[in-house]
């Protein structure tokens, strides 16, 4: 078996996703290559059988034409009929479960039906054991060009043909009709034909396997790039950006935006190591990411210990406010569970606002999907002017949630740039409705 080169292994190893070892991936690729080669082998065996049938008919017609005696015509017809029958059987087996399970045996049977069977028939009918090297050479070259895989099968078929001839020679012990130099010449031609055929198959299969691994490495690289792109941008925006790499900006008449901030995290950073701090933040934000995916919410970005998400874009939905409300309540529960498991005392302050936004991708480098508009600013103010451990929503969001959720009126608060605004605190789901 030919293994991938070190560069192929290094490239594949670098492309393996988290949690999957190189050995598992390499085994999967090897199995995939074997399946592909098996399918290729079966198709080519059927093609070879068809070619042999057509070639056999031409040879039968030729020998019937050149033989003037009736007995010679009958012998030629019998030999040709036996070879054609063997070939037909091999062709039929290629289409059955036996052929799919044992294609190697079909390969050898096709070869020996032309080489060994002809030699045996002629020996039985005429007691003539002159080596039919021209038939052998034609068969070996045919298989090397049509089925250039599994070089060891080609070698076995060639050795089997020669052993068959030597066995018949020992049994019949005929008198040689030509000078010794003739047989040496024929032997040398046959030897180098076999060597060249086997070596060419070996080189072709080696090249084919390298191409297969390179193709799979390219597919894995594309898959990884696609996964990384989808971690940065929504799927719809990523597809749009790939097809037309230009500024993307869309207006959305009504979406719901969420801002969340971890209370007390800044104070914790003063007496916690950077590595531990980042690990804690990463754990919490990973929980939030899972909640966003569960509720069909689009994560926009994180800024320090703040988390921003939106519902209702890029795929527009009429259920954007409830989706954000459910996520906000689950975020509170997730932080509470995290505190119990990690002996922490974090609380989360969340602000929610509903209204129109502009969303898109700008810039040439390190681009990201972002939102702009008053709705974003109000959501940010709802969070920054909120109460630790609570979810504060604006009037518009309240009107969308009041029938199915429990909300307490907080009252008017002064919001920078907006004046006084009526706000509400989201408490939970109204179980009565």
Q: Examine residue 57 and state whether it is found in any structural domain, yes or no.
A: yes
Please check whether residues 276 and 400 belong to one and the same domain.
yes
Please check whether residues 190 and 263 belong to one and the same domain.
no
Contacts of 307 (CB under 8 A, 6+ apart): 258, 259, 260, 261, 285, 288, 299
Q: What is the C-alpha separation between 180 and 169, in angstroms, rounded?
A: 15
Please check whether residues 242 and 215 belong to one and the same domain.
no
Q: Examine residue 1 and state whether it is found in any structural domain, yes or no.
A: no
Rg (CA), the chain: 38
Please check whether residues 82 and 104 belong to one and the same domain.
yes
Q: What is the C-alpha separation between 111 and 90, in angstroms, rounded?
A: 10
Q: Are 312 and 298 in contact (CB under 8 A)?
A: no
Quick one: angle between helices 180-232 and 133-146, nearest 10? 10
Q: What is the C-alpha separation between 296 and 325, in angstroms, rounded?
A: 12
Please check whether residues 141 and 248 belong to one and the same domain.
no
Tell me how crowded residue 186 is: count the other CB atoms within 10 A of its CB: 17
How many structural domains are present in the chain? 2
Q: What is the C-alpha separation between 358 and 255, in angstroms, rounded?
A: 10
DSSP string for residues in 366-420: S--EEEESHHHHHHHHHHHTS-TT-EEEEHHHHHHHTTTEEEEEEEEEEETTTEE
Q: Domain range holding 341?
A: 235-429
Taking only the tens of pLDDT, the chain with its 433 residues reads: 334 444 444 444 544 444 344 455 556 666 677 888 888 888 999 999 899 888 888 888 887 887 777 776 777 788 888 888 988 888 888 888 888 888 999 999 999 988 988 888 888 877 777 788 888 999 999 999 999 989 999 999 999 999 999 898 888 877 777 788 888 888 899 999 999 999 999 999 999 888 888 888 888 887 887 777 777 777 767 777 666 666 677 888 999 999 999 887 777 777 778 888 888 889 999 999 999 999 999 898 888 889 999 999 888 888 999 999 999 999 999 999 998 888 888 889 999 999 999 988 876 666 777 889 999 999 999 998 999 989 999 999 999 999 999 999 998 888 887 888 999 999 999 887 6
Question: CB burial class (10 A; 0-12, 13-18, 19+) of residue 155?
Answer: middle
Query: What is the predicted pLDDT for the residue at 12?
Result: 46
Q: Are 151 and 198 in contact (CB under 8 A)?
A: yes
β-bridge mates for residue 302, sequence order: 307
Q: What is the C-alpha separation between 162 and 360, in angstroms, rounded?
A: 73
Strand blocks (E) in 102-157: none
Q: Of 172, 202, 225, which residue sits at a domain end?
A: 225
Q: How far is CA 283 from CA 111, 243, 276, 334, in A?
A: 64, 35, 11, 11
Q: How far is CA 245 from CA 47, 100, 136, 231, 368, in A?
A: 47, 47, 60, 18, 13
Q: Are 340 and 374 in contact (CB under 8 A)?
A: no
Q: Examine residue 313 and state whether it is found in any structural domain, yes or no.
A: yes
Please check whether residues 25 and 93 belong to one and the same domain.
yes
Please check whether residues 218 and 353 belong to one and the same domain.
no
Please check whether residues 84 and 146 belong to one and the same domain.
yes
Q: Of 166, 194, 225, which residue sits at a domain end?
A: 225
Please check whether residues 208 and 275 belong to one and the same domain.
no
Query: What is the predicted pLDDT for the residue at 266?
Result: 75
Contacts of 109 (CB under 8 A, 6+ apart): 86, 89, 90
Residue 144: name the closest of 193, 87, 210 by CA.
193
Please check whether residues 272 and 344 belong to one and the same domain.
yes
- Say which residue the tokens 């104070």 belong to: 267
Q: Of 206, 225, 244, which residue sits at a domain end?
A: 225
Tell me how crowded residue 143 is: count the other CB atoms within 10 A of its CB: 23
Query: What is the predicted pLDDT for the residue at 212?
Result: 86
Q: Examine residue 230 and state whether it is found in any structural domain, yes or no.
A: no
- Strands 419-429 and 405-415, sheet pairing: antiparallel
Query: What is the predicted pLDDT for the residue at 7?
Result: 47
- CATH number (domain holding residue 240): 3.30.70.1230
Please check whether residues 256 and 314 belong to one and the same domain.
yes
Query: What is the predicted pLDDT for the residue at 29?
Result: 64
Tell me how crowded residue 291 is: count the other CB atoms within 10 A of its CB: 20
Q: What is the C-alpha separation between 217 and 26, in angstroms, rounded?
A: 11
Q: Examine residue 393 and state whether it is found in any structural domain, yes or no.
A: yes
Residue 393: name the closest of 425, 415, 345 by CA.
425
Please check whether residues 221 and 280 belong to one and the same domain.
no
């Amino acid at each position: 078996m030919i293994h991938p080169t070190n560069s192929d292994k290094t490239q594949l190893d670098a492309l393996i996703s988290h949690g999957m070892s190189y050995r598992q991936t390499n085994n999967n690729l090897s199995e995939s290559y074997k399946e592909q080669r098996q399918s290729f082998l079966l198709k080519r065996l059927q093609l070879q059988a068809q070619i042999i049938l057509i070639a056999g008919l031409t040879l039968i017609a030729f020998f019937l034409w050149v033989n003037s005696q009736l007995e010679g015509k009958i012998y030629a017809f019998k030999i040709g009929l036996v070879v054609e029958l063997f070939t037909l059987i091999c062709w039929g087996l290629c289409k059955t479960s036996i052929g799919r399970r044992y294609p190697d045996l079909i390969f050898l049977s096709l070869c020996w039906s032309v080489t060994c069977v002809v030699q045996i028939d002629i020996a039985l009918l005429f007691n003539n054991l002159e080596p039919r090297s021209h038939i052998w050479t034609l068969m070996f070259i045919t298989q090397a060009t049509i089925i250039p895989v599994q070089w060891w099968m080609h070698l076995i078929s060639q050795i089997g043909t020669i052993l068959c001839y030597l066995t018949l020679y020992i049994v019949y012990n005929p008198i040689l009709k030509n000078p010794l130099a003739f047989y040496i010449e024929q032997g040398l031609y046959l030897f180098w034909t076999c060597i060249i055929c086997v070596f060419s198959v070996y080189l072709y299969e080696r090249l084919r396997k390298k191409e297969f691994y390179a193709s799979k490495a390219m597919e894995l690289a594309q898959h990884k790039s696609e996964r990384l792109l989808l971690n940065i941008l929504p799927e719809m925006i990523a597809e749009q950006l790939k097809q037309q790499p230009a500024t993307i900006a869309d207006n959305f008449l009504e979406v719901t935006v969420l801002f969340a901030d971890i209370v007390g995290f800044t104070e914790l950073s003063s007496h916690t190591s950077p590595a531990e701090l980042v690990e804690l933040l990463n754990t919490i934000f990973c929980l939030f990411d899972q909640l966003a995916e569960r509720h069909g919410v689009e994560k926009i970005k994180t800024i320090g210990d703040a988390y921003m998400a939106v519902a209702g874009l890029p795929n527009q939905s009429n259920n954007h406010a409830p989706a954000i409300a459910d996520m906000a309540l689950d975020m509170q529960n997730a932080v509470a569970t995290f505190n119990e498991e990690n002996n922490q005392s974090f609380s989360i302050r969340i602000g929610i606002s509903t209204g129109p936004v502009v969303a898109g991708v700008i810039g040439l480098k390190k681009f990201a999907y972002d939102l702009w508009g008053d709705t974003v600013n109000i959501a940010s103010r709802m969070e920054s002017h909120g109460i630790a451990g609570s979810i504060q929503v604006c009037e518009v969001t309240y009107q969308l949630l009041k029938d199915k959720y429990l909300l307490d009126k907080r009252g008017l608060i002064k919001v920078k740039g907006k004046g006084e605004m009526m706000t509400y605190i989201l408490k939970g789901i109204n179980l009565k409705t």
